[in-house]
């Protein structure tokens, strides 16, 4: 008797798929439209929900790092739940409206209303709650009172207590809760928490602590220059006292044997070394044009190092030259102080369409 039923392989059985995100085998997967990259549905849903919840809706791309395929809203509808999709639509609309420089959102909490102002329209009315607010400072309407005299005491207290600053690009409030000083806003702008500028620019490490230019040098640095004749010997003395008061009883080296001469030499050289360091810092603050090292720059660096060594030797030999360099610290400080005061006097008033956040953190 022949077998009337032959074994036919079932071609509709789903094969197990290894997700490149969680590395788990699953049969529930979703394929990205366009690039055809495949991920398990749960991972893709979590990825999209995280992006949307963080308001990163400008261009949501494929989870594959090497792929830049932008996901369409029609695809998002098939993955994320309705409440997440509603957030996506809200953030997307807000982002599109933000492209208009004359548009201001209502300052009331949890209100999505807005109005469009201009130079001749400073009093705005929210499209939803109908409350009036100021176009210039984006605060509740304060009548004829100037914006710069309008102070929100409670908000300033909140800013101080909660460690809050504003994104230099979009003006959104950012609260820092630990971590490094490199901040990434939801608008995609990367900035330094200390100075508010791009942390990946040339000489950022110097300019962040000392100032972006001579006119913007920090007050504490200028004060240090003015008091350098006093501070430099004191700092050298502190180092020497710590070295001298060491509890090591078995010090028999030549360095300890001739420590008195070493102390005098360090005290004598402390001021010139500080002047050289200040000159290098000022040079770095002035230099904004160099972008890459070149043989010409290397030669200049070698010449600068040689000149520095010659200057230090000259100070050791010629006492009047030492007195001259001793005075250079306060001179540099007075120059920077004058530039700082001039820059403060020449500060222009903010334009009417500026938002209420500081661009300069210094």
pLDDT of residue 320: 61
pLDDT of residue 241: 60
- Among 214, 196, 358, smallest CA distance to 281 is for 214
pLDDT in tens, 79-89: 888 888 888 88
- Whole-number percent of the chain with pLDDT over 70: 55
- Write down all domains in the chain, each with its CATH number in brackets: 17-97 (3.30.40.10), 100-146 (no CATH), 151-200 (no CATH), 203-243+253-291+309-349 (no CATH)
More confident of the two residues 163 and 361:
163
Whether 25 shows a pLDDT value over 80: the answer reads yes
Distance, in Å, from the CA atom of 298 to the CA atom of 281, rounded to the nearest integer, reads 17
Whether 134 shows a pLDDT value over 80: the answer reads yes
pLDDT of residue 360: 39
pLDDT in tens, 140-178: 888 777 775 454 555 566 666 667 787 777 767 777 777
Contact (CB, 8 A) for 124 and 137: no
More confident of the two residues 347 and 307:
307
Confidence of residue 282 (pLDDT cuts 50, 70, 90): low
pLDDT of residue 143: 79
pLDDT of residue 292: 47
Model's pTM, two decimal places?
0.39
Residue 59 corresponds to which tokens in the numbers above?
A: 């261009």
pLDDT of residue 281: 62
More confident of the two residues 186 and 311:
186
Average pLDDT over the chain, rounded to an integer: 70
Whether 315 shows a pLDDT value over 60: the answer reads no
């Amino acid at each position: 008797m022949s077998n009337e039923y032959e074994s036919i392989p079932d071609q509709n059985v789903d094969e197990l798929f290894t997700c490149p995100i969680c590395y788990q085998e699953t049969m529930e997967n979703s394929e990205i439209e366009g690039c055809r990259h495949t991920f398990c549905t749960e991972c893709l849903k979590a990825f999209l929900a995280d992006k949307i919840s963080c308001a990163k809706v400008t261009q949501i791309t494929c989870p594959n790092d090497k792929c830049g395929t932008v996901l369409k809203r029609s695809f998002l509808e098939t993955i994320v739940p309705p409440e997440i999709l509603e957030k996506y639509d809200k953030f997307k609309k807000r982002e599109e409206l933000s492209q208009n420089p004359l548009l201001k959102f209502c300052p009331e909490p949890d209100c999505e209303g807005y109005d469009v102002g201009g130079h001749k329209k400073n009093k705005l009315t929210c499209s939803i709650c109908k409350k009036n607010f100021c176009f210039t400072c984006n605060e509740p309407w304060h009548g004829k009172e100037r914006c710069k005299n309008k102070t929100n005491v409670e908000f300033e207290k909140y800013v101080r207590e909660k460690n809050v600053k504003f994104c230099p690009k979009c003006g959104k409030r950012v609260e820092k809760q630990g971590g490094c000083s490199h901040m990434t806003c939801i608008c995609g702008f990367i900035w330094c928490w200390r100075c508010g500028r791009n942390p990946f620019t040339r000489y950022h490490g110097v300019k962040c602590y000392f100032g972006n230019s001579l006119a913007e040098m920090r007050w504490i640095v200028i004060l240090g220059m003015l008091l350098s004749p006093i501070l430099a010997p004191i700092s050298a003395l502190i180092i020497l006292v710590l070295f001298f008061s060491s509890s090591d009883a078995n010090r028999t080296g030549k360095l300890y044997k001739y420590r008195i001469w070493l102390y005098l030499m360090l005290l004598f050289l402390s001021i010139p070394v500080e002047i050289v360091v200040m000159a290098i810092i000022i040079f770095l603050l002035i230099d904004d044009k160099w972008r890459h090292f070149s043989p010409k720059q290397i030669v200049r660096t070698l010449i600068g190092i040689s000149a520095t060594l010659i200057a230090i030797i000259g100070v050791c030999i010629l006492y009047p030259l030492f007195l001259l360099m001793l005075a250079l610290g306060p001179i540099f400080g007075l120059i920077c102080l004058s530039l700082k005061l001039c820059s403060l006097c020449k500060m222009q008033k903010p334009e009417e369409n500026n938002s209420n956040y500081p661009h300069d953190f210094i």
